[in-house]
Amino acid sequence: MNAPRRNLMLADALAQVGAVGLFLFSILAAVPKSLRHYRETVRQVWFVGAMSLVIIMTCGLFVGMVLSLQLYYVLTNFGGTAALGTVVALSMFRELGPVVTALLFAGRAGTSMTAEIGLMRATDQLSAMEMMAVDPMSYVVAPRFLAGILAMPLLACIFNALGLLGAHLVGVSWLGLDNGTFWGNMTSTVEVWSDLVNGVWKSAAFGAVIALIATFQGYTTPPTSEGVAYATTRTVVSSAIVVLALDFVMTAFLM
Amino acid sequence: MTQPRRSFQVGTGLFILLGFAALTYLATQTTSIANYQQGESYSLKAKFSNIGQLKARAPVKLAGVRIGSVQSINLDPQTLSAIVMIAIDKRFAEIPDDSGAAIFTSGLLGDQYVGIQPGGSPDMFKDGDEVILTQSSMQLEDLIGKFLVGGDTAKKGDQAKSDGSE
């Protein structure tokens, strides 16, 4: 009795995945055209990147500070506080930087992308564009997608830098670790390509995924105020799930 | 209408600059790139019977001061010992050629490094010289073995070590 409904749900889920995939292809097809009028992409980088700086920097600072404090208490048990800088840097570069930035980015930028495009859909602006032979994929969606890919790695780097500053403040200035040990052990262990740049690739992938989900949810929202509200919620929820799952997969393959 | 557009363009440029500045800072100041030799260096060769956890680009220290880094680690197929190539900064050219090299660990959990113990020879190391006196990395298993079995294995261990360093 339950079987047909379950099949229907499975079919719905598959259809959703397929729709996202097709949407990705149509974004990629619209990218060359949107690059020709790059102004909109620049404006989106400003909106999703530069406007997110305050939250990213504040959170990065506090994540670095708390990481330093926690690790200090743990490492004291092993007499290994000399490794504090190394552990903070590795965990920031490889995991926390890309992932926490992605979750913040989904909350800060992904929601506003969905709400903006969703309201365009609800107020028939997208249909109006199509009637004027203006392709909304290349004028509205593709610039946001590109901005997500561009802004996320930069935001993650800024997050990491501020995190290290926070770790330095707590570890060296407050808890009194030796400055040379803190940075010296870090520089002898952390590798550019395998640690830092892998984190940058990860964050670019997260940016693409979040922008894809956010624009898809906005573009396909039911044209009601309730529909836009649900679409915005779905953006955050599915971005978080997909980012964390993709993080595991990428870590398993890249590192 | 032009004013706001210009301000967001400037802001976007600043944001991108800030992002790349952060990336450059992280790449050059917090990773192993910061340890690359800037100036001229000369290389020495040292054979160890066991290098433990020594890795390429590990520091080389004399009296605790960093004077260079490990360039490469290879296996000598004849003697079956490890060949460690060491790059030492040209500023530290005055190292007697009977100095020894040993592999130490910094702290309990720290990385391993090559320590140079200065000798008394009037001649100095030149580029491409080999460090004859070497002392391998201390292996916890060997120590425990020596402790359990007594002096016999300790002698054997010394024998193997002197073989390896020839």
Q: Do B12 and A50 touch (CB under 8 A)?
A: yes
Chain B residues with CB inside 8 Å of A183's CB? 29-30
Inform me whether the C-beta atom of residue A153 falls under 8 Å from chain B C-beta atoms: yes
Q: What is the pLDDT of residue B109?
A: 61
Q: Do B30 and A164 touch (CB under 8 A)?
A: yes
Chain B, nearest residue to A93 by Cα? B26
- Domain range spanning residue A199? 3-254
DSSP codes of every residue in B137-164: PPPHHHHHHHHHH-HHHHHHHHHHHHHH
Q: How far apart are CA A137 and CA A199, in angstroms?
A: 29
Mean local confidence (pLDDT), A62-88: 92
Chain B, nearest residue to A198 by Cα? B27
Chain A residues with CB inside 8 Å of B16's CB? 45, 49, 150, 154
Q: Do A53 and B107 touch (CB under 8 A)?
A: no
Q: Is the pLDDT of residue A107 over 70?
A: yes
Say which of A79, A83, A187 has its CB closest to residue B31.
A187
Q: Quick one: CA torsion of A214, A217, A223, A229, rounded to 10 degrees?
A: -70
Q: Do A185 and B111 touch (CB under 8 A)?
A: yes
Q: Do B9 and A185 touch (CB under 8 A)?
A: no
Contacts of A244 (CB under 8 A, 6+ apart): A99
Q: Do A53 and B18 touch (CB under 8 A)?
A: yes
Chain B residues with CB inside 8 Å of A82's CB? 106-107, 109-110
Task: Measure the CA angle with vertex B110, ends B108 and B116; round to 5°.
Answer: 100
Q: What is the pLDDT of residue B5?
A: 59
Say which of A46, A82, A190 has its CB closest to residue B11.
A46
Q: Do B32 and A192 touch (CB under 8 A)?
A: yes
Say which of A49, A82, A157 has its CB closest to residue B22.
A157
Q: How many CB atoms lie within 10 A of CB A123?
A: 11
Where exactly are the structural domains of chain B? 2-30, 39-165
The DSSP call for residue B136 is: P
Chain B, nearest residue to A85 by Cα? B30
Name the more confident of B104 and B163.
Answer: B104
Find the range with the poorest average confidence among A117-121, A137-141, A153-157, B113-117. B113-117
Chain A, nearest residue to B19 by Cα? A154
Q: Per-residue confidence at B60, pLDDT binned at 50, 70, 90?
A: confident
Mean local confidence (pLDDT), A71-78: 92
Q: What is the pLDDT of residue A240?
A: 96
Q: How many structural domains comprise chain A?
A: 1
Q: Do A42 and B20 touch (CB under 8 A)?
A: no
Mean local confidence (pLDDT), A8-19: 89
Beta bridge partners of B134: B101
Q: Which pTM value belongs to this model? A: 0.78
Q: Is the pLDDT of residue A164 over 60?
A: yes
Q: Is the pLDDT of residue A87 over 80?
A: yes
Q: What is the pLDDT of residue B160?
A: 47
Closest CA of chain A from B16, distance in Å:
7
Closest CA of chain A from B65, distance in Å:
12
- pLDDT tens digits, A212-232: 999 999 999 999 999 999 999
Residues A225/A85, Cβ–Cβ less than 8 Å: no
Q: Do A42 and B12 touch (CB under 8 A)?
A: yes
Find the range with the poorest average confidence among A4-8, A28-32, A122-126, A146-150. A4-8
> What mean pLDDT is reported for chain A?
92
- pLDDT tens digits, B72-101: 888 988 888 889 998 888 888 888 888 888
Chain A residues with CB inside 8 Å of B108's CB? 78-80
Q: How many CB atoms lie within 10 A of CB B101?
A: 24
Q: What is the pLDDT of residue B164?
A: 43
Would you list which residues of chain B are within 8 Å, Cβ to Cβ, of chain A? 5, 8-9, 11-12, 14-16, 18-20, 22-23, 25-27, 29-35, 57-59, 106-111
Q: Is the pLDDT of residue A117 over 90?
A: yes
Q: Per-residue confidence at A127, pLDDT binned at 50, 70, 90?
A: very high
Mean local confidence (pLDDT), A164-184: 91
Name the more confident of A102 and B105.
Answer: A102
